[in-house]
């Protein structure tokens, strides 16, 4: 999505340690018109699939997931984060390792909101090593639902998480894939669209 | 908003301690079509005001704030929560007491995303004692911006937070105001709209 690449070039800020800050439009301030455009793009990419539900993870996944789900006309369910692994039995849960903070946390979704046979599109703001997305796929599997695909706003291609998921045969669409990132330049992976 | 009252009656679950669970549409699963309708109602209520920005607080405020901001065609900024009160100086912050969890936490917004003179609509999912909203108003004030008004999905009128804010002369619009809540019945405050 050219508009995402342009937005990152214009507003993104690169910090040491391969940190890309996009708080001006994606995960602190939300550029609503732009995110609705992203939602339309995601819906269009998956228009030939049956999607019953969009699943994401709090907090920064919620806005882009909501925009995509509005366009797909389906509900969102967002996984919540918890420090403890001790959770009540009415929840699906998975342990996720945070690469950024070097800690583990638990993500969970109530059993009331994911059901066997449902077709799920997983949406998130960032895809780096892919731990959060793998946790969400694990939860979708626990529910007996199916991950139809994944859509992310920004994939850090150089961290390999997206390609590892693609290698398992799961469709991953990222609005922009960053293959290299330095203080002075961002190199995007060419995509057909 | 009659549709909100009906939704609460149909899907809300009351638990001891005046807890109302609305995870099926508002703060775990998100009913996107319904929340966009809520966003349109909020935008319509504030259509005669200049609104530059919607401010909310993670996580559960984000969806309804996003929907309202799409309709108002303005950005959202969501305050983040932090356990520590020690935050860097490039943030506006306020300490909020959580009535539900009986702890204090800090909410913050980057100084990059709130500016002097901006007209702010504060949106949240719930209004009970009003501590989170008071913290957000404090942050808006720190920035030299102005709180034009508040909009919430569900106000627990019996907890008094909304009326205390109204008594200060600040406009508060809640899609539904619950004046009384028991296991068997929910009594809504009559509203003109």
**Cβ distance of A66 and B69 shorter than 8 Å:** no
- Residue bearing the bigger pLDDT, A99 or A59: A59
Among A68, A74, A71, A67, which residue's Cα sits nearest to residue A52? A74
Chain B residues touching residue A77 (CB < 8 angstroms): 28-30
pLDDT at B63: 98
> What is the SS3 assignment for A6-29?
HHHHHHCEEECCCEEECCCCCCCE
pLDDT at A44: 98
The answer for residues whose C-beta is within 8 angstroms of residue A151's C-beta and 6 or more apart is: A42, A45, A46, A68, A121, A122, A123, A172, A173, A174, A175
How would DSSP label each residue in A72-94? HT--EEEEEEES-S---TTEEEE
pLDDT at B100: 77
**Cβ distance of B23 and A110 shorter than 8 Å:** yes
**Cβ distance of A28 and B67 shorter than 8 Å:** no
**How near does any CA of chain B get to the CA of A64, in Å?**
10
- Greatest pairwise CA separation for chain A in angstroms: 49
Chain B residues touching residue A59 (CB < 8 angstroms): 58-59, 62, 78, 80
Are B176 and B12 in contact by the 8 Å Cβ rule? The answer is no
Is the domain B2-186 a CATH 3.40.50.2020 member? yes
CA atoms of B3 and B51, how far apart (whole Å): 25
pLDDT at A75: 98
For chain B, the residue count is: 193
Q: What's the average model confidence in pLDDT over B108-122? A: 98
CATH number of A2-188: 3.40.50.2020
Angle value at C-alpha A82, between B76 and A92, nearest 5 degrees: 105
Are B179 and B189 in contact by the 8 Å Cβ rule? The answer is yes
pLDDT at A87: 85
Chain B residues touching residue A67 (CB < 8 angstroms): 66
CB atoms within 10 A of CB A10: 9
Confidence band for B157, pLDDT divided at 50, 70 and 90: very high
Q: Does A193 have pLDDT greater than 80?
A: no
Name the token pair of A121: 């599109």
Q: What's the average model confidence in pLDDT over A156-167? A: 98
Chain B residues touching residue A107 (CB < 8 angstroms): none
Are A62 and A83 in contact by the 8 Å Cβ rule? The answer is no
**Cβ distance of A110 and B66 shorter than 8 Å:** no
pLDDT at A83: 83
ipTM score for this prediction:
0.97
CA atoms of A110 and B50, how far apart (whole Å): 39
Q: What's the average model confidence in pLDDT over A93-103? A: 90
Chain B residues touching residue A125 (CB < 8 angstroms): none
The per-residue pLDDT of chain B, averaged, comes to: 96
Q: What's the average model confidence in pLDDT over A130-140? A: 98
Q: Does B193 have pLDDT greater than 80?
A: no
**Cβ distance of A28 and B63 shorter than 8 Å:** no
Q: What's the average model confidence in pLDDT over B90-114? A: 94
Chain A interface, best mutation among B28, B54, B56, by max A CB count within 10 A:
B28
């Amino acid at each position: 999505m050219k508009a995402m690449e342009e937005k990152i070039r214009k507003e993104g800020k690169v910090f040491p340690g391969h940190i890309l800050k996009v708080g001006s439009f994606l995960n602190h301030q939300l550029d609503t018109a732009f995110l609705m455009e992203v939602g339309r793009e995601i819906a269009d990419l998956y228009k030939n699939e049956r999607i019953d539900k969009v699943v994401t993870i709090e907090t920064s996944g919620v806005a882009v997931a909501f925009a995509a789900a509005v366009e797909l006309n389906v509900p969102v369910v967002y996984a919540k984060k918890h420090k403890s692994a001790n959770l009540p039995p009415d929840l699906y849960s998975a342990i996720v390792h945070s690469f950024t903070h070097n800690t583990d946390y638990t993500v969970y979704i109530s059993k009331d909101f994911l059901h066997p046979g449902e077709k799920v599109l997983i949406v998130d703001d960032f895809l780096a090593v892919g731990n959060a997305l793998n946790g969400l796929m694990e939860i979708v599997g626990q529910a007996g639902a199916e991950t139809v695909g994944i859509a992310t706003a920004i994939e850090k291609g150089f961290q390999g998480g997206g390609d590892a998921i693609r290698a398992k045969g799961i469709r991953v669409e990222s609005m922009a894939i960053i293959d290299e990132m330095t203080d002075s330049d961002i190199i995007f992976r060419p995509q057909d669209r």
